[in-house]
Structure 1
Amino acid sequence: MTDDWRELHATAVVADTHNDLLCAVVARRPDEWGSYFRQVWLPQLRLGGVDIQVLPVFVDDVFRPEGALRQTLRMIECAPRVAAENPRDAALCVTGAEIDNALSSGRIALVLALESAPGIGEDVELFRTLQALGVRIASFAHFGRTALADGSAEDATGGRLTSKGVAALELLEELGVLVDVSHLGVAGVGHVLEIANRPVIATHSSARALRDHHRNLTDEQIKGIGATGGLVCVNFFAPFLAESNATLDVLVDHIEHVVSLIGVDSVGLGPDFIKEVYAETKPAWCEAAGARVLGSPVRYLDGLEGPAGLPLVTELMVGRGWDPDGVRAVLGGNVLRLFRASFGTEQS
């Protein structure tokens, strides 16, 4: 059994749809971006067997609002430089064909995503510019309110998408950019599912039925995302998995719950690895501030603090009797299929 799960993980396409590592990379001088990625993150990604890595562009509060667009552009500039300075190991990809080419050559396919898009403000047309710069996934809010929608920590407002948010969704679908509902408030998720005409993704969300937290999705929302042909990629962050004592088993419980609702072909992994990013970029008091927003202490799963631990998920799924094809689908096969279909084969 040990050999079986190791071989399965090694031969599967492994996709992580949310790792904030770009925040840590861009915090350094531009001439250090490539070397820092190579020395600190690349070994972890290789140990974890990561083949597709979504890179969220997340702009910290210190840059908002005036510096948000500038920081967004800095992070977008960072990603191709990381790839260019590590050409044997990584490639920034904007089409399904480019992802396939990266995988066939043994490189990690990097995909840019906007997390809450504070640099957009009300200027929805800027999504067209950012798509041209390589962005292929976008969300409308984080914990708080934006010009497009309310985040999950504002659920009490009952806020749906604003008129600008509706316009943004329509433009993103036109551009072939996946709309991400992770972090979106309950009413906002419902609004997206009402009007979306293309697959929707939750890049890093777990099941509210197992952990009643505003960052998690209800069974109804999960089913709605599956009905669009999209994916729910399960979050590994311990406070979102259990009120206390989150474990690897609890994580796989969340994965299996989502699978039970929408099928094994509609589920992926969105680990949300932030421990090292926090340690590298934020003073200690930020964890306390973050705990207030989360409503619980900041905690991490033992062994899954970073991408090197991803094979543990495969080991447990196999140990629970999962079919190998199902394991491959959840590890990354589903993400690869959705990205191929959504991003097309040629750069626009």
Structure 2
Amino acid sequence: MRLRSLLAPALATAILASPALAAPPRSPEEIAAAALKAAPVWDGHNDVPEQLRERWHDVLAKFDFADTSGTADPAKGYIAMHTDLARLRRGKVGAQFWSVYVSAGLTDQQAVQAVMEQIDVTRRLIARYPADLQFADNAADVEKALKAGKIASLLGMEGGYAIGNSPGVLRQFRALGVRYMTLSHFRSTSWADSATDAPKNNGLSPFGKDVVREMQRIGMLVDLSHTSTRTMLDALDVARAPVIFSHSGARAVADHARNVPDEVLARIKANGGIVMVVSLPAYVSQKARDWALDRAAEKARLDARFSEAPDQAKAALAEWEKAHPVPPATLSDLADHVDHIVKVAGIDHVGVGGDFDGMDTMTEGFADVSAYPALFAELARRGYAQADLEKIASRNMLRILKAADAYAAAHAADPALESPTVF
């Protein structure tokens, strides 16, 4: 009996350790699901507020955010929206930066008013759906929302022109809950150069550098998406807290000026910041980028050939497009950007920023906000561990917002940036 009692624990241990009885390996989909349950997606950029302004003129009584799948209006040139509450839930989105974007074609004063209206409608939208959305102004608010099972909703302002060259306006936007500002958009400002416009400052002007310092002093994240390489580098020179790219890719994967070059990725690692990978096909796929360049060249040729007959030029370009369909960007292409950013900057410096509802064409397999689990399953197939996927999903961004909050708290007593008023 004594021998039997000694052997029993050893036999039980051997049985439990037997390979035949070990738990089967998890599939990529299971790894992704576990990661997104532990750390739901934090998306860096979504343009629902722009759609509210363009389609519904900010009248929420006419808008149903529960389901927007039937919002296509071909007569007005509108495709169906990419975002609604049901698809956010299916996409395992737990935190969202809503973009309070306005056109760079507005005057300074028009842009200030328009952004105020964008902030207002977005905060009203959040308040209208309290069972699903919860406004978040800081990292602690995000954690509370996640714990409550709600989608933490933060504001990101796209385009530095919207402050009207006024540090006072910048500070008031922060007081209204804006957590990041993209320094430029498709056009350069008087103080920050865009990636897609002629330079005015060779990067940041002295005032632009002061804006970066002031943003970090008040806890507003510096967003370098849309900026020129020189602007990126100038901002990193003066930044003392982590910066973000709310929706950008890796330029080594798709050679578009909107994407981040390796020299900047290396500095993002040192800065502690993040690149949140965008899904717009022209930024994702080199083939799609090359097609866009070929189309631009053909358009220029046809416009010159039919300079007195623009309708003929338009018809000829349509025929060219029919004969040369745009190559699709794929989910694999999107994952390639994650891979490259991890290779150069490290796993702690990558996230996701889909740009949904701000684009008319989508990456195949990534058609709307419900598609995030598919991307994370693709990354799991490539060997990313659950802990790494959790970092990409939201833990990296949470760390950065905590760092921004801590920096602002430590510098709250520093002198504010002042600039003389002009009228």
What is residue 51 of structure 1 aligned with on the other side?
94
C-alpha distance in 1, partners of 2:90/2:222?
30
Cα pair 2:46 2:99 within 8 Å, conserved: yes
Q: Aligned partners of 1:346, 1:171: CA distance in 2, in Å?
A: 10
CA distance, structure 1, for counterparts of residue 276 and residue 401 of structure 2: 13
Q: How big is the alpha-carbon RMSD for the aligned residues of Structure 1 and Structure 2? A: 2.2
Superposition deviation, residue 119 in structure 1: 2.1
Mapping of residues 212-251 of structure 1, within 5 Å = 212-242=255-285, 243-244=287-288, 245-251=328-334
Q: With the length of structure 2 as denominator, give the TM-score of the two structures.
A: 0.73
SS at match of 1:39: coil
Distance in 1 between the 2:31 and 2:260 partners? 33
Structure 1 residue runs of 4 or more that deviate by more than 4 Å after TM superposition: 155-158, 344-348
Correspondent of 1:189 among 229, 232, 238: 232
Alignment of 1:144 with 2:181, yes or no, is: no
Matched-pair contact (CA < 8 Å) for 1:34–1:82: no
Q: Does 1:16 align with 2:49?
A: no
Question: 3-state SS of the aligned residue for 2:256?
Answer: coil
- Unaligned stretches of 5+ residues in structure 2: 1-26, 69-83, 289-327, 413-423
Tell me, yes or no, if the aligned pair for 2:248 and 2:353 is still in contact at 8 Å: yes
User: Are the structure 2 counterparts of residues 247 and 168 from structure 1 closer, same or farther at C-alpha, using a change threshold of 3 Å?
Assistant: same
Which deviations, in whole Å up to 9, do the C-alpha atoms of 1:94-126 show, x marking residues without a partner? Answer: 111111111111110111111113221221221
What does 1:255-270 align with in structure 2 at a 5 Å threshold? 255-270=338-353
Query: Cα deviation per residue 1:20-61 (whole Å; 9 max; x = unaligned)?
Result: 111112342544169533333211211111001001111025
Q: Is the 8 A contact 1:34 1:83 kept in 2?
A: no
- Length-normalised TM-score, structure 1: 0.88
Residue 308 in structure 1 maps to residue 385 in structure 2: no
Secondary structure of 1:131 counterpart = helix
Does 248-257 or 146-155 show the bigger shift? 146-155
Q: Structure 1 CA distance, aligned partners of 2:340 and 2:390?
A: 17
**How many angstroms does 1:7 deviate by?**
3.4
The more displaced of 153-162 and 104-113 is: 153-162
* SS of residue matched to 2:180: strand
Does residue 69 of the first structure (1) align with residue 107 of the second (2)?
Answer: no
Tell which structure's C-alpha radius of gyration is larger: 2
2:415 is aligned to none
Query: Contact (CA 8 Å) 2:32, 2:389: kept in 1 or not?
Result: no
Instruction: Read off the aligned partner of 1:38 and give its amino acid letter.
Output: A
Aligned length: 327
**SS of aligned partner of 1:233:** strand
Q: 2 CA distance for matches of 1:76 and 1:90?
A: 15
Q: Percent of counterpart pairs with the same letter?
A: 29
SS of residue in 1 equivalent to 2:134: strand
Q: Comparing 314-323 with 58-67, which one deviates more in the overlay?
A: 58-67
Contact 1:45-1:308 at 8 Å conserved across structures: yes
1:52 match: secondary structure: strand
What's the CA shift for 1:340? Answer: 2.5
Cα distance between partner residues in 1 of 2:397 and 2:359: 27
